[in-house]
Amino acid sequence: MPFSTPTLGALALFVLPYAVADFLTPTYPYPSDLTSDTSLVRAAWDNATDTFEDYFKDGVNTTATVGILGTENVTFSFGLFSLEDQLAASKLQYHRAGPQTVAALNGTTSVDGDSIYRIASVSKLITTFAGQIVLNTTVWYQPITEILPEFAAVNVNRSAIAPDWSTITPHDLASHLSGIEATGPIEDLLVSVFTDSQTKDTSVYNVAAEAGLGPSYNPVALAQVTLGLNLSATPEEIAVTFGSAPPVFLSKTTPAYSNLGFMLLGLIVQRISGKGLEEVYNDLVFTPLGMNGSFVNAPLASPYLDRSVIVGPLAASWAYPVDAYTIPSGGLLSTINDLNKLGVGLMNSTLLPRDQTRGWMKPVASLASLSYNIGAPWEIIRYVHNDTGKVTDIYTKLGDSGSYGGMLALIPDYNAGFSFLNGQYEPLTGPQTRGKSALKLIDHVAAAIIPALEAQAAAEAVKKIVGQYTSSTVNSTVGIAFNETTIPNGSPSLSINSWISNGTDMLALYYESEKPRLLVTVPKFEAGCGEIVFQIAQQEQFPTYQAAGLGPFSGIYYSTFDWATFDGDRFLGGSLRTWRVHVDEQGVATQISNDGIRATLVKEVNYPSSTDLHNHALFAGLNFILSSGSAQQHWSVISPSSVARTTFLQILAGQHICHPPTARRYPHLSDIGTSPQHAVKYVGFDAERGNNVGGTSVRGAYLGARYESRREVTDFTVEDYLTGHTELNALERVEDPVDQAALARVTDQLDLGRLLSMPVANLSNGQTRRARIAKALIDRPQVLLLDGPFMGLDPNALARLSEVLRELAESGQPKVVISFRPEDSVPHWINYTVMVDNGLRVVKQGETKSVLKPGTSALQPVQQLSRDGFSTQLPSPPLGEAVIEMTGVRVSYGPKTVLGDWHRPESPGPGLHWSLHRGQRAGVFGPNGSGKTTMLSLITSDHPQAYSLPVKLFGRSRLPEKGEKGISVFDLQQRMGHSSPEVHAFFPRQITVKRALESAWADAPLAKPKLSEDAKNRVAATLRWFTRELSPKADDAPLIEKLKRSSVAEAETLLVSAQVNESDLAWAKETRFGELPFSSERLLLFLRAIVASPELVILDEAFSGMDEIVRDKALLFLSQGEKVSEVTNGTAHESMLSKLGKFTMTGLTDRQALLVISHAKEDVPGCVREWICLPEAGEGREPRTGTLAGPLQLNPKGWDEIWGRS
């Protein structure tokens, strides 16, 4: 049963996981096929609606339906529309009549595209649209006092605390920047007091006192409340009531949602247009767009009453007063078909000039969250694609009022959008769940459709535009390709793969052989028939300045500067960066031209998809059976390759394409009626990045200060993470008893009960593992695949997690399959094992006792040298001056001390007393949460307390002292080399391998390195030594391997030839960091830490996640450089470079100090001698210290000694 990687059909669904900040334009031309049987959008729509059907049919609670639990009582309708595929508006709809509608005494008992709903605050969008039509630009920014004389009169005698209406404009009202009250008297508690007093036949004073609201009231206030009940108030009454109420904010300061603002905007539109309320909407919007099912007042007679969705009592939820002044804010009614027409009309500028539409659909203000902006009255959601991190702006208007709600969403990047309407009656005295249910439904559809629109756009671009273009008159060619990874900023796009103009290589001349991205700047319908305009995006782009490792002001230049440099490289009035693709009626490219060159090139043939170039078989001939019976089969997958381990588990999970399709079957899952996607859960710890629970991570100044942070409402707890409540500003949750039962079950299984209220950022490594496993178990999977769960755990945490997994596996629900490295200690309860080699082949499988053959290691010859060339007799280098000095360091966050909570009798005082000297090779050990990361953050000066604590680095404090300058962060960066999982998580993925290594001589990874000739030689030497591991596309044998097979004379010739032009290192200038396998990424960051021979090398779990062979080679390079090629059978073999006397890298020198942090003894370099083991925080025990007799590989008891088990 061979497997292969996904091909073109899924090319945009498997891309890089990081965000970019591009032009605010589409990445690809608009997708034109949303409805055919082969459309990715149609498939996503069917999947999303099939999930609805499955859930509403029998309440199935699966992985697919968990996001829509509790929505079964809602009546709702969805509709998708597109300017490019007009069939979408009719073909892609879904309607569901809830129980209240089915049993309704009035209106319809079923729903379709013509069913009439109240649309709540979507009315605000239509009111603003009418204002865009009837108000000119001058009026939009004219003071209210000049438009409504009633407010001018109020303003004359206004109090000091009343709003100044001469500073508030219609635009302020539409964009929620007026600062006035949200609802005013309409939702005043005095309304309830007044009503209760009448019901109870008692005085207002008594009712108010009972409610704790004061025994007296102002008659004017009561009059305002009366106005709230009289929805047909005159403009004069409204002005008097609203006009003198104190503002909540000063105008034009912050967006604050105001229903009153739109009531006033409705008055302004009526006043300027000279039309009544019903005429405003019918004449300006509904009739011109053919919205025949939309109304200002609720229809109360046939035939429209028969189409109305009336979910509650007719008077309470449907028949509001006619022509109420609240209608512009939230009183209109419409259908899905009509909202689709409205969406098309807005995006197509049917009733407005295009430039006015574009200007209107822009943000006016931002909210505190970076994910949302506010327009007039757009609620602009910055949707982040899960697989790429790309941001797509969605222009929405959400409505939610009483028993009804709705939304219109426009997605300009795809020239498409969707509409949504819903209804459910809920008595005011009961729980209010409809609003939350509506948002669940919208999230479900958006999560399916938006990625599918992006994927469809990419697939169509590949099919219609990718190809070779050639001139018939001059020596000019252009190759347009789809690049999934090999692009400057790590996001998929079309790109220029080759460009020859008049025989000149333009990419080499103008773009340093980069393959620049092409982004759409003028879509087809805007540019005129048959043409799409693209711009080259050359600058490296980042979503935030923090992601670029810059400050807020330098970031605007260096992190997202294409917006200011897009039109460069001009020649005779045209830009070399502007490309015009000419397309036929089907959108297929026929030719391309460049504004600077002015040559037209005709399209010849398409390039093959990049996925076709590496479509190789994975695990050919695989046979594997995981029994569903009662037999206790606890499987492990063991391989030296992290890629092999992960791929094997992915295949079990149903990923990758199977040939033939019937060779991979799940008979038990078929019997119980579920799919592998729902029943098989993969949780990766080995070769995955960014495994922080809940998507939270500690970003910013220092990573070790998680206990210092104050607890905020946005600090999601473990319970929030497990139950999926990790959205900011979420509506009040309604707990599901089924979910609570599942939560109680998994928290008991994994001993998480006492941690439920803890912020996820405070979890230790082992606790995080258990939380992620628990998250997978809540959905009751049949099979749980755990990829490297013991990676990075200290021995004690490892033992605890092993016991938890044993109990889980022996329960049989679910079946558990775990991956290990060959050097890992496989738990005794694992009774079946699959051994996989580096070539993705199963070499042995069966019972563990047979596969692993315990005891065979005792037959191996006694090793005289460690894997990195050290013997037990090798003396440590002589010690030089101190590199690090800590004299009584104690780190506390409030009452909690996380480091230094002890007093050693032999120390001069309490706290941590520790130093590291030149020539010293030391290890810092301790359980998870013992303060190792805090200690390291003091050394790297990431921790703010590094400035105040008694810490000296290279003999100097961070702050100046008497007669001595402080040491700057730039000095530290030049003198330290640091590799860790945290560095990996934040390292820019778009830079090349060569640039990544050169950044060891730069102030930041993206800053320009200062390279001497020696630095260039060190980079070249290191890249040559690790070409096999860092060049995934290398087909030919690397130079180092050729030298190894050559005679001395032949080797010298090969080396001289390669050093002349570095042709053997061309791959390093093309391959991006983000293209490398996880193991190779870790290797490159390790090499970056040592290549410049810094005075202090810090390796914090630097080898975690590296493949065994790669790690051993890296350890040997750390100690021996290029002098020793390998150590086999206890013998070190001199390299050919050493024989030639041409080596550059020598390994660690006596002037360098080494600091290692690790939880795996195999990852500790053989040169480490001194060690300190920190106690767990809060124990009050002092740290233990000691000296190893030799390399841990040759001294197994040394590891037990470190951990206090000897």
Final residue of a structural domain among 859, 876, 899: 859
732 and 588 share one domain = no
Pairing between β-strand 493-501 and β-strand 517-522 as defined by DSSP bridges: antiparallel
Residue 738 in this model has a pLDDT that exceeds 50:
no
Cis bond before residue 737 (omega within 30° of 0):
no
Are the C-beta atoms of residues 1023 and 1068 closer than 8 Å to each other?
Answer: yes
Helix (H, G, I), strand (E, B) or coil at 373: strand
CA 165 to CA 244: how far, in whole Å?
10
Residue 562 domain flag: no
594 and 691 share one domain = no
Burial of 970 (0-12, 13-18, 19+ CB in 10 A): exposed
Q: What does the pLDDT read at residue 1032?
A: 66
Q: How confident is the model at residue 709 (pLDDT cuts 50, 70, 90)?
A: very low
Tokens for 966? Answer: 């402080």
Residue 335 domain flag: no
Other beta carbons less than 10 A from residue 1205's beta carbon: 10
599 and 715 share one domain = no
832 and 918 share one domain = no
Final residue of a structural domain among 810, 834, 859: 859
Residue 732 domain flag: yes
Q: Which residues contact 16 (CB under 8 A, 6 or more apart)?
A: 387, 388, 389, 484, 485, 490, 491, 492, 989, 1074
Residue 345 domain flag: no
- Domains of the chain: total: 3
Residue 281 domain flag: no
Tokens for 242? Answer: 């609203």
1103 and 1064 share one domain = yes
Tokens for 447? Answer: 């999560």
691 and 777 share one domain = yes
| Mean pLDDT value across residues 405-409 | 96
**This prediction's pTM:** 0.53
Q: Which amino acid is at 937?
A: S
Distances (CA, A) of 68 to 334, 656, 764, 788, 950: 25, 28, 32, 32, 55
pLDDT digits over 72-112, tens only? Answer: 999 999 999 999 999 999 999 999 999 999 999 899 999 99
815 and 874 share one domain = no
Distances (CA, A) of 525 to 30, 84, 534, 582: 10, 10, 14, 12
> Residues of the chain with pLDDT > 70: what percent?
81
CA atoms 437, 439, 444, 445: torsion sign: positive
Q: What's 1177's domain CATH number?
A: 3.40.50.300
pLDDT digits over 502-531, tens only? Answer: 888 888 888 776 778 888 888 765 444 578
892 and 801 share one domain = no
845 and 771 share one domain = yes
Domain of residue 1094, residue span = 863-1206
> Residues of the chain with pLDDT > 90: what percent?
26
Residue 239 domain flag: no
Q: Which residues contact 312 (CB under 8 A, 6 or more apart)?
A: 100, 318, 403, 425
Which has more confidence, 233 or 363? 363
CA atoms 554, 556, 560, 565: torsion sign: negative
Buried b (16+ CB within 10 A) or exposed e, 513-530: ebbbbbbbbbbbeeeeee
Least confident of 94-98, 269-273, 712-716, 879-883: 712-716
Q: How confident is the model at residue 131 (pLDDT cuts 50, 70, 90)?
A: very high
Final residue of a structural domain among 826, 859, 892: 859
1035 and 890 share one domain = yes
| Mean pLDDT value across residues 426-452 | 87
1058 and 1093 share one domain = yes
Residue 253 domain flag: no
pLDDT digits over 1073-1130, tens only? Answer: 888 888 899 999 999 999 999 999 999 989 888 888 899 999 999 999 999 988 887 7
Residue 438 domain flag: no
Closest by CA to 381, choosing from 727, 84, 129, is 727
- Angle (CA) 174-176-177 rounded to 5° is 105
898 and 824 share one domain = no
Pairing between β-strand 333-334 and β-strand 117-118 as defined by DSSP bridges: antiparallel
